[in-house]
A and B are shown apart, each in its own frame.
Chain A
Amino acid sequence: MSMSHEEATQLELGAARPVLGPRLCAVHVPDLALQRVTRARARTQGAGSGSPAGDEPPLAVIGEGRVVAATPAARASGVRVGDSAVQAEAACAGLVLVPHDAEADRGALEALAEALLALAPAAEVVLPDVLLLDASGARVVARDEPDPEAAIAARAVAIAGELGYRARAVVANGRGPARALARFGAVAPPVPPGRLTAALARLPLQALELPGPVAARLRALGIHDAGALARLPASGLGQRFGEAGVAAWRLARGEDPSPLAPWTPSVLPSEEVELEAPVESAEPLLFALKRLCDRAAARLAGRGLGASRLELVLRLDPAGTARLEIALASPSAAASRWLLVLRERIGMLRLEGAVARARLEVAAASPAPPEQLALADRPEQLAALDTVLARLAARLGADGAFAAEPVDRHRPEAAYRAAPFRASPRRTGGGGGEEDAPPPPRPTRLLAAPLPLVAEGEGGRLTAVRLEGRAFPVAALSPPERLAGEWWDRPFDREYRRARLDGLGDCWIFRDVATGRLWLHGFFD
């Protein structure tokens, strides 16, 4: 697989002008497996206090019988990555061994990618521990910052921190170079395109993730870092290693024009925590839930979504599960608003046991409008609304408070239905130019069950009605309005009139055409 002289010449010419890839922010989560496991072991004592690192039990993650990661406490006791499980346990008394779960690691990385989408239009998940963000729009996202790219990298690290992960980020050109610098480089400001080759030069060959045979042959030749590889003559590499060698050489110089492979989140976020000890009171539970809210909200915000419905699943000790469904007044990705509602609901909860595990699921989400536009420019009212709706739902049930939604039905009692109350953004501009015909009069109160009336009249004219034995003279009567239909199900045929009854006021009465009987159906109160 040797190269022609012409190709080799082109390579030498190309050496002067590296073909750089897109501007990317690579976020590396070192020891992801370990961080994920330790993050899940939430501490619930002393809300907000945190625990000194020394309290953490020594822990190691085991994959295929070997230690793949270990906590500082475990390492201090002599546990090394690569040790067998038996060796590790022998080295450290009380060592907690946790099996490696690659799928869970992927889920954790994707959850982080979700949150980081708040910073970039696209993100790529590179297993096992790197995320690549499209940083081409940094000047737009962080336009007020003196160094937008550095700000994006710092914000990415901060978001990871909010989600419970220690990460480092670097901005550079190209997928491979950015990945290599994030994994193996020192924490550094963004690498300008012109300094990429120099920045890579200090990295070990391993950072370039070269194919095994190529890496092995290069090492045999005494090439141990990217700088040494980049200094080799391309033509000679092409002749000895073929295309793979040239690709390695290009990578060492920072050339990787391959485009980002964007990852698209497919499911709504859910976050779970296993409490260190079952909790019986609201405060420690809320402390743990705050973390879940922060994490899930950050993930949702990254997608430009807001939760309109949350579901909280509490696993009880020793057995049993409690579920809470929480509707929000408007889609929100503000963890503080979620927590307000949760606080109300949990405060009124009576559980049959202590809570051992909690899972917060975003059950429904939609594009979140800017919160300040949702309620007459007063976001604090939204929080107040969420709180009072949660209190109402806890006491009256989910159907106790609602918004009425019109339904196109002739049957008066079916002309609207209950819908979740949302503080919809204020409408502006009115309904347009066309004037609709005024709707037929409808009573402000409709009786759940019509009351029978006894008609009294003279010469075919209705002069009074009797309701529950009491007579009410008819002072005025409107022309009839016929409402009929639903022959396929429960047919009805009614002749409605507005009647002014002395002593009762304006009433909505109807004559059932089928039976001829008279009914009181509502009041124009």
Chain B
Amino acid sequence: MPAVRPACEVREVIQELRERIQRIERRPVRSDRVVASGWVEVDGLLGGGFPRGALAEIVGTPGSGKTALALSAAARATAEGALAAFVDARGELYAPAAAALGVDLERLLIVRPPAPAVRGSARARELAPAVRDALWAAEALLGSGAFAVVAVDAPLAAGARAGAGGASAEAMLRRLQGAAEKGGAAGLWLGEPGSCRAPAAVRLEVAAGAEGPVVRRGGPDTGAYVDVA
């Protein structure tokens, strides 16, 4: 027969549980649904920032400012004590610029496959080993649950395959989306015009403007754009 607790003891337990719940509710929610980009106008376009647990595609030419946008989001994440990762299949990320944009370099993991993909390989029909490694690493990082932001820069042509009979680029990008959902990270896919489109929740198009990058929310139904000078 179970022991019956006196009423006063039960009240104390309930009160303690109430207080505990209140404490939990007062905690800052670290896994907010978005990661701010740090560019006020872009955050306005996105409804607060890049969605967590999803892939966002940022498309632009090499000098458009898309990398700076991704690094700015990484800067916001690292400033809040979270970790960010940059998968750099081309081997071109310049860390001093990341630091200048406010990224805490000690909290930014740079992943660089042994043989970086050469510039221009975004049109290759077969994925270079570096791109395959980069996609694998991106999936691991996005799904790990350890990173708030994972930016991925890998040249990927539409219809490219990982070897004969291998997975298509589109299928591999879908896996990234799934990994982001699993790990709760904001995945930022950096694409170039004409490269493979990611199955992203958000698509931003970045272009170099006279006064700085011009960012447009992509997709056929949205015509909003902002000038981030």
Contact = CB atoms under 8 A, between A and B. Distances in A.
A406 B114 CA distance: 21
B201 interface: no
Interface in B55-69: 60-68
Given A378-B30, A402-B110, A525-B66, A443 B105 contact: no
Interface residues of B, number: 51
Contacts of B83: 375, 381, 385, 423
A415 to B, nearest CB: 5
B210 to A, nearest CB: 8
Contacts of B136: 395
Interface in B118-166: 119, 133, 136-137, 140-141, 144-146
Interface in B7-29: none
Interface in A396-416: 396-397, 399-406, 412, 415-416
Contact of A443 (B82, B94, B133): B94
A408 to B, nearest CB: 11
Given A505-B61, A524-B65, A388 B146 contact: yes
A406 B144 contact: no
Contact of B96 (A382, A424, A442): A442
Among A381, A507, A524, the one with the most B-chain Cβ atoms within 10 Å of its Cβ is A524
B144 A385 contact: yes
Tell me whether chain A's interface is mostly helix, strand or loop, or mixed. mixed
A445 B62 contact: yes
Given A395-B133, A396-B133, A447-B119, A503 B110 contact: no
Nearest to A388: B144
Interface in A26-80: none
B114 A397 contact: yes
Contacts, number: 158
A505 B62 contact: yes
Given A396-B114, A396-B133, A524-B63, A447 B98 contact: no
A401 B99 contact: no
A427 B104 CA distance: 10
A163 B95 CA distance: 45
A213 interface: no
Contacts of A378: 30
Given A400-B112, A446-B94, A505 B65 contact: yes
Contacts of A388: 140-141, 144, 146
A403 B62 contact: no
29 contacts: A375-B81, A375-B83, A378-B30, A381-B145, A388-B146, A397-B114, A400-B137, A401-B112, A402-B112, A403-B109, A404-B98, A404-B99, A404-B108, A406-B105, A416-B95, A421-B109, A439-B96, A441-B100, A443-B97, A444-B68, A445-B67, A447-B119, A448-B92, A504-B63, A505-B65, A505-B207, A522-B94, A523-B63, A523-B67
Given A404-B98, A416-B96, A505-B62, 13 more contacts: A375-B81, A388-B146, A395-B133, A396-B114, A396-B133, A399-B112, A400-B113, A401-B112, A403-B110, A445-B93, A506-B208, A507-B62, A525-B66
Interface of A: 375-376, 378, 380-382, 384-385, 387-389, 391-392, 395-397, 399-406, 412, 415-416, 418, 421-424, 426-427, 439, 441-448, 475-476, 500-501, 503-507, 522-525
Q: Which 7 A-B pairs have the closest CB atoms?
A: A505-B63, A404-B95, A426-B81, A388-B144, A376-B81, A445-B92, A385-B146
